Amino acid sequence: MAVSHRLFRLHSPAKNTLSSFLIRSFSSSSSSSSSSSHGPSLDPEIDLEEAAAQLEKSSSPSPSPSPSKGRNFHWVFLGCPGVGKGTYASRLSSLLGVPHIATGDLVRDELSSSGLLSSQLKELVNHGKLVPDEFIISLLSKRLEAAKEKGESGYILDGFPRTVTQAEILEGVTNIDLVINLKLREEALLAKCLGRRICSECGANYNVACIDIEGEDGSPRMYMPPLLPPPSCESKLISRDDDTEEVVKERLRIYNKMTQPVEEFYRKRGKLLEFELPGGIPQSWPRLLRALHLEDLYDKQSATA
């Protein structure tokens, strides 16, 4: 097997604590959700029961479900950092016409707003603290409430739940239909993470890794082409300070340890769909559609597009 990289030699300038914390703590995603600066205020001592009650209030069945859909799309995406979860969640959300709700985006939106939650959040972030469950749940319930008001008929959650406690709260108050667990061979994942680059000027994301892994034991060859920058960004690329092999491996180890109980939680309830990504988007997308029985919908939409 061969994993090759095309590397640009780059040095990352110092980042401020806030942005590096955020980049490290929340997987990025391309689509976003609403933000508003007036929300419920959050007491730092808010307890889970109260948060659950808030969530229950905001996620009761929509009074005007879309009549065109016979299926529910209350979906959750799981997947380790770098697997491309945000990309697939975002594609599916456009296909299904439901919002892609990424908790990382909710936190970023809140940070850029001027609400009370925002100042509390900045305080936490400035002290290098992790954002607590209660905070995320509060933001999420605010978002689900907005969804209800807009008459949205489903959602794709990305980045939540991360713990069994969060999964339990969610399970008690809303009906998650399906949890899609995206997986990628570790060597491909590692190469992908190490190949990540960000344009220091416009913030666009690229990947300079060219992954080409020979198939073993009858499995097909895995090829994932690089996503190279246009000339205008090429000289401004930086990599994250923490995208080193050691750190990425540690991140994966922590992720797996934290997520396995969540996977088990949904597996026991018959809601977990394991999906092994066979390669890049061109290979993976059609198979994912097939696994979700969405090929017909996709064909229909492509035909009318």
Task: Decide: 73 and 101 in contact? Cβ < 8 Å.
Answer: no
Question: Which one, 228 or 297, has the nearer CB to Zn ion?
Answer: 228
- The CB-of-5 to Zn ion minimum distance in angstroms stands at 21
Q: Among all residues, whose Cβ is closest to Zn ion?
A: 199
| C-alpha triplet 289, 292, 293: angle, nearest 5° | 80
* Residue pair 38/124 in contact by the 8 Å Cβ criterion: no
DSSP letters spanning 234-259: HTTEE--TT-SHHHHHHHHHHHHHHH
Pairing of strands 222-224, 237-238: unpaired
The span from the CA of 74 to the CA of 76, in Å, is 7
196 is catalytic: yes
Find, among 180, 185, 182, the residue nearest to 273 by Cα: 180
Out of 85, 143, 185, 192, the active site residue is 85
Is residue 290 part of the annotated active site? The answer reads no
Query: Does 71 qualify as catalytic in the annotation?
Result: no
Owner of token pair 């296909």: 95
- Is 251 an active-site residue? yes
Q: What is the DSSP string of 145-160?
A: HHHHHHT--EEEEES-
- Tell me whether residue 85 is one of the annotated catalytic residues: yes
Provide CB contacts within 8 A for 202, sequence distance 6+. Answer: 233
Identified catalytic residue from 251, 267, 271, 287: 251
Q: State in angstroms the smallest separation of the CB of 8 from Zn ion.
A: 13
Nearer residue to Zn ion within complex by CB, 94 or 205: 205
Q: Is the Cβ of residue 123 or residue 201 nearer to Zn ion in the bound state?
A: 201
**The one catalytic residue among 24, 162, 183, 249:** 162
Q: What are the residue ranges of helices labelled H in 67-115? A: 85-96, 103-112
Catalytic residue among 91, 108, 196, 197: 196
CB neighbourhood size of 178 (10 A) = 18
Structural contact between residues 27 and 86, judged by C-beta atoms closer than 8 angstroms: yes
Query: C-beta of 236: minimal distance to Zn ion in Å?
Result: 6
Nearer to Zn ion, 126 or 232 (CB): 232
Where along the sequence are the contacts to Zn ion (CB under 5 A)? 199, 201-202, 233
Q: Report the nearest approach of Zn ion to the CB of residue 232 (Å).
A: 6
Give least dist CB 202 to Zn ion, A: 3
For CA atoms 67, 68, 70, 73, the dihedral sign is negative
Q: Which is nearer to Zn ion, 47 or 201 (CB)?
A: 201
Q: In this structure, what token pair is assigned to residue 195?
A: 């190949």
Cβ 197 to Zn ion, closest distance in Å? 10
Choosing from 24, 236, 240, 267, the catalytic residue is 240
Residue closer to Zn ion (CB basis): 233 or 252: 233
- Measured distance CA(114)–CA(117) in Å, rounded: 8
Which active-site residues does the annotation give?
Answer: 85, 162, 196, 240, 251
